[in-house]
Structure 1
């Protein structure tokens, strides 16, 4: 079987990302390294990318890939976790909001914006997870971060329910978007449902259920190069591969690039590195599995 690569699991509601990894351990030989890129909350469903073998070293490329979500936001109340799993507090005296006002508020969220993560998040505050502090009733004060929202599409709106499709960058919390949208409109808001449709090139149309059999899972593996789409690349010779694995630079006739991918003649990943003035300096070398 393929010894390194990626697998997309269509995560179901009510389980953690770690639960999915634990179940996936049954699909691979013992002691296979497994990890996931881009945690999903228990309430959320959809694309969870697992890496196995040497591909675990490439999870950073998965995590920084653009993402697409479909979400249902509930207006007229707030949640201490900013989603339906938290303690819901209705807002008294609020009236339905016009769709035009929602669109105006949405447009103000496009681009590079400052966002405060939810108190119930995995970010650390003085060495402790924010959600652990929040569950104890502690005041959690998280610093705002700059995130990117590329596009928000209004799919359906019937007060108090709003359905959106959101294209965004790394580190974006959809729960914070729901909270901030509700605050801007003066009615409160939280995430009722959340589906991750895509991370980069990883999508639901080639995924498996967490309940899949080993045979079903192993039929839909993705190659090591899957999260590296879009990076410049070339195929190199066996001698050049040996030089790279001995830590040497090699000469390549390509344009300079901060990140450059080299492959063997069969298209298998050899290394990622920097290409400057025709010299390729590897920063991440994939050892031979032969």
Structure 2
């Protein structure tokens, strides 16, 4: 087993991303726990929960790259989801025993295709009650398991693309390209409801987060086989050139000391934006303040395990 020692970490702090393929049956926390055992004393955190039944891309940020978790969470995501029509469950998936709906209609592929455009674009989606959303300080899934009666308000979400991969009743497989905060389980529930029936999610693969794809992901079980530094991905890959500022060594030194720099913002709003240093690596994140200057939000150390 390969592990980063304290001495090695102090000399070269770990900094980067892991694109991991989460196996079915593992929680996202299980994956992070395994990473932390390998990179300690560096911190690690995942950027977007996958349910235990799901597989696919789980991005784990390591070291000071944990400051990028919110940025990764905002990136577009892609899923292949499998639903069973004519069924329902409190969790909207097969985690809880589904109930078969008596005399449920069997929608045709043409009816499904006609309904799909209504689920593309900017939408309001009601999350499943079995979710990690907090209600009065408790996660909604804990409240649901305790038998509490409550409802969750709809939340704005975005679906960029939605298409049918395969349909053989009761199984429906969809390709979904969506923004952050989107619940795939709820899509199946709502699409089925629009067709006069119910649906539960029986399988889910997250195939991409931003530019990080499942084809390049490392199996979480294989982390013990090689030094973790060999698996780390540069956070530079999270940013397109047009989303970044490029700085020289003098400007980077100013940011390291917590001082602002001047420059043209790469887009509307106040950021944050990535700052690329002279070596081509992600050096910092900056925000535009009312004084018209770009102030450091995060400054990163670059190193290896």
Per the normalisation by structure 1, the TM-score is 0.92
CA distance in 1 between counterparts of 2:173 and 2:295 reads 45
Partner in structure 2 of residue 228 of structure 1: 239
Partner in structure 2 of residue 24 of structure 1: 35
**Correspondences of 1:41-60 after superposition (within 5 Å):** 41-60=51-70
CA distance in 2 between counterparts of 1:206 and 1:94 reads 41
Residue 75 of structure 1 contacts residue 182 of structure 1 at CA under 8 Å; is this kept in 2? yes
CA distance in 1 between counterparts of 2:194 and 2:267 reads 45
Q: How many residues align?
A: 289
Q: State the 1:35 CA deviation.
A: 0.3
CA distance in 2 between counterparts of 1:129 and 1:283 reads 33
User: Does 2:15 match 1:4?
Assistant: yes
Residue 253 of structure 1 contacts residue 278 of structure 1 at CA under 8 Å; is this kept in 2? no
Q: State the 1:101 CA deviation.
A: 1.0
Partner in structure 1 of residue 285 of structure 2: 272
User: Does 2:106 match 1:93?
Assistant: no
Residue 255 of structure 1 contacts residue 275 of structure 1 at CA under 8 Å; is this kept in 2? no
User: Does 2:134 match 1:128?
Assistant: no
Report the CA distance shift for 1:242/1:255 in structure 2 as closer, same or farther (over 3 A): same
1:15 to 4, 26, 31: 26
Give the match's secondary structure for 2:250: helix
User: Does 2:78 match 1:68?
Assistant: yes
1:193 to 187, 203, 207: 203
Residue 273 of structure 1 contacts residue 280 of structure 1 at CA under 8 Å; is this kept in 2? no
CA distance in 2 between counterparts of 1:3 and 1:248 reads 25
Report the CA distance shift for 1:145/1:267 in structure 2 as closer, same or farther (over 3 A): same
Show CA shifts across 1:211-251 (max 9, x none). Answer: 11251654332112232335532432222122122222223
Show structure 2 runs of 5+ residues with no match. 1-11
Partner in structure 2 of residue 118 of structure 1: 128
Q: State the 1:145 CA deviation.
A: 0.5
Residue 105 of structure 2 contacts residue 196 of structure 2 at CA under 8 Å; is this kept in 1? no
Report the CA distance shift for 1:164/1:183 in structure 2 as closer, same or farther (over 3 A): same
Q: State the 1:277 CA deviation.
A: 11
Report the CA distance shift for 1:234/1:47 in structure 2 as closer, same or farther (over 3 A): same
Residue 258 of structure 2 contacts residue 296 of structure 2 at CA under 8 Å; is this kept in 1? no
Show CA shifts across 1:53-75 (max 9, x none). Answer: 11000111110000000011100
1:160 to 131, 154, 170: 170
Q: State the 1:27 CA deviation.
A: 2.8
Partner in structure 1 of residue 9 of structure 2: none
CA distance in 2 between counterparts of 1:99 and 1:166 reads 17
Q: State the 1:173 CA deviation.
A: 0.2
Report the CA distance shift for 1:101/1:222 in structure 2 as closer, same or farther (over 3 A): same
